[in-house]
A and B are shown apart, each in its own frame.
Chain A
């Protein structure tokens, strides 16, 4: 009975891609054209959707059949899902995010499936860069994008106060390290605030409310899903006219929001610190096709490689004065050349070292 239940659950979870998990690849079907994309849940307006866009584009370009495998929130099922997808023999390329242990499972199982190519994105900068032969890893310098976002925020803040709301994990702390160092670089007198995000969008809205209440002009929302709470609060407080602006993370949130019906709220989004997931995945598949992809390695990509940036769109050009735009163009250039070095959470040896750096930067 128990086995049956487990089998049924596994079947339901994988119905999208792996309904026949144990069937071996047939020898008379040499070319497998499936490209699997592993993610948590699509429809987050951010990270997961962005990667999926990259997979869809490169699949269309190179004649693969894209297939999203959504894993949901139960991390215990992820390992099985990956193995079953590999066993199904339907996929020749598997693209997956690194989070929730997926990267570790790829490290563990990749050598058992030499015929499948794995592309793992959003790896940690500090991870071991040596991967199995058929795996390629991408790490993003999120702190560079956030550094630019912080500098822009400081330049745009009339009260010289900027804030960031982010989760207390290495990724979130990396956003904060970049953002705060950027704000301090652009304007040493600028006051910076860092709030650890709570559990849902409503709580994020309250936290943003508390920040704007203190006179903070720009808040960077370090979560794709909960950022809407922050944008909502900025919009309710009158948006740009009342000095309440917000920034998004990972994807160009202004673009995403204007694609939907929430156009009004989009007006508060000054810019976004982006990880160009779609671009880097497409680029990796292109290089895989012409044979120049360094298999078995993890590459750390930043602004110089076009893998991270601040979103520069029409709305940005409308809101930001010309001299600040010129300053930003100059700063982007400096960062990509390595003349200015953003602070990253991964520069620190420990959480304590990071907090020791962070504390004096915060508040009044």
Chain B
């Protein structure tokens, strides 16, 4: 493996959970909701996946339970926000805190440990896949082949989410509600129902990111193991304005920044800079893109005014 292919391989591996979480955020964003709870969804799925697969010694049951748990969390968020009318962002933030503490609590009840389940629980992990023909191609094979099966599922999910949002009736309804809930209501679409559905789907996709971290990338659960990936995903999604493909590309860029941060250490660059690099990169990307977008909007408004003046 050459250095470059190693970095790219690392990028894909690091990006997988961020891509999945970004897709999850993009589904709710299109329904007009900001999913700040992606961190909580991933964390819960990661823990429950490990616990259940260790109990049942079955990978599939563990996965299903992990995904179900994150969907359950979204339903709680939805019920509190849309039925009990609590502010959505506040609900998400408090859910994040509750799950960060709650997962440690559950882990302690079950295993008696408070920091990692490694060594206590022997959970199943998802296998890595060597793609038959591609793996023999010199450079591309080294980068693309040999990843965890969830990485390939993530790539499929990019297309699936795009298809869902732009090519299906449900997707159309989600986007309608996102644009204007009142207008959607006036043609008989229940916006509350759509919000519930989009949040549950978001829970499913984010849950995949969670189980990937604890049952694919690593083989154990550690407290607070998401390490801000949910928030990086939210940033990635916001930069792309909720577009699934754009969100995934941004998530990949964040992964590249992390891999690059690891790589440049061999040149002994100042440590503080290295540790801050992925986050600085996110801030920089957001600033630049917002600047460009605002200029475009300004230009657009100016053109509108000009067009109106010409009419007059």
Contact = CB atoms under 8 A, between A and B. Distances in A.
Interface of A: 41-45, 70, 168, 193-196, 198-203, 205-207, 209-210, 213-214, 225, 228-229, 232, 256-257, 259-262, 359, 362-363
Nearest to B226: A200
A70 B104 CA distance: 13
B226 to A, nearest CB: 8
Interface in B250-302: 258-259, 261-263, 265-268, 271-272, 274-275
A259 B119 CA distance: 8
A207 B265 contact: yes
Given A45-B116, A200-B222, A229-B218, A213 B268 contact: no
A340 to B, nearest CB: 27
Contact of B271 (A45, A196, A201, A229): A196
A201 B225 contact: yes
Given A45-B119, A200-B227, A205 B265 contact: no
B193 interface: no
A257 B274 contact: no
Contacts of B218: 201-202, 205, 228-229, 232
Interface stretch (B20-28, B55-63, B87-95, B107-115): B107-115
A44 B115 contact: yes
Contacts of A203: 227, 258, 262
Contacts of A256: 119
A261 B6 CA distance: 31
A228 B115 contact: no
Interface string B118-145: 1111100000000000000000000000
Nearest to A232: B218
A196 B263 CA distance: 12
Given A206-B10, A261-B120, A195 B265 contact: yes
Contacts of A257: 119
30 contacts: A41-B115, A42-B114, A43-B113, A44-B115, A45-B116, A45-B118, A70-B114, A193-B266, A195-B266, A196-B265, A196-B274, A198-B261, A199-B275, A201-B218, A202-B225, A202-B227, A203-B262, A205-B218, A206-B10, A206-B259, A210-B6, A210-B10, A210-B263, A213-B3, A228-B218, A232-B218, A232-B219, A261-B120, A261-B122, A363-B267
Nearest to A44: B115
B222 A43 contact: no
Query: Of residues A70, A168, A193, A213, which shows the largest number of chain B Cβ atoms within 10 Å of its Cβ?
Result: A213
B14 interface: yes
Nearest to B111: A43
A260 B120 contact: yes
A276 B266 CA distance: 32
Contact of B213 (A202, A213, A262): A202
A225 B266 contact: no
Interface string B8-33: 00100110000000000000000000
Contacts of B271: 168, 196
A72 B3 CA distance: 40
A232 B216 CA distance: 12
Nearest to A195: B265
B291 to A, nearest CB: 29
Given A196-B275, A205-B218, A210 B262 contact: yes
Contact of B262 (A45, A199, A206, A228): A206
Most A C-beta atoms less than 10 A away, residue of B228, B259, B271 = B271
A41 B108 CA distance: 11
B3 to A, nearest CB: 7
A39 to B, nearest CB: 10
A362 B275 contact: no
Nearest to B272: A168
Contacts of B261: 198
B265 A210 contact: yes
B220 interface: yes
Nearest to A260: B119
Given A41-B223, A206-B262, A210-B262, 15 more contacts: A42-B114, A45-B119, A193-B266, A194-B268, A195-B262, A196-B265, A199-B227, A203-B258, A209-B10, A210-B6, A210-B265, A214-B266, A260-B119, A261-B121, A363-B266
Contact of A260 (B6, B118, B262): B118
A41 B223 CA distance: 11
Contact of B114 (A41, A198, A210, A232): A41
Contacts of A42: 113-114
A201 B258 contact: no
A168 B114 CA distance: 25
A161 B263 CA distance: 17
A228 B116 CA distance: 10
Contacts of B266: 193, 195, 210, 214, 363
A225 B113 CA distance: 12
A205 B220 CA distance: 13
Contacts of B116: 43-45, 201, 225, 228
Contacts of B213: 202
B97 to A, nearest CB: 12
Contacts of A43: 112-116
A198 B275 contact: yes
A42 B6 CA distance: 36
Given A43-B114, A200-B222, A209-B10, A262 B119 contact: yes
Given A196-B274, A206-B10, A232-B218, A363 B122 contact: no
A206 B225 contact: no
Contacts of A168: 271-272, 275
Nearest to A228: B118
A8 to B, nearest CB: 15
Given A196-B274, A203-B258, A359 B268 contact: yes
Contacts of B195: none
User: Which of B13, B259, B268 has the most CB atoms of chain A within a 10 A radius of its CB?
Assistant: B268
A201 B112 contact: no
A194 B274 CA distance: 13
9 tightest A-B CB contacts, nearest first: A260-B119, A43-B113, A196-B271, A200-B227, A168-B271, A41-B114, A262-B119, A43-B114, A261-B122
A262 B125 CA distance: 13
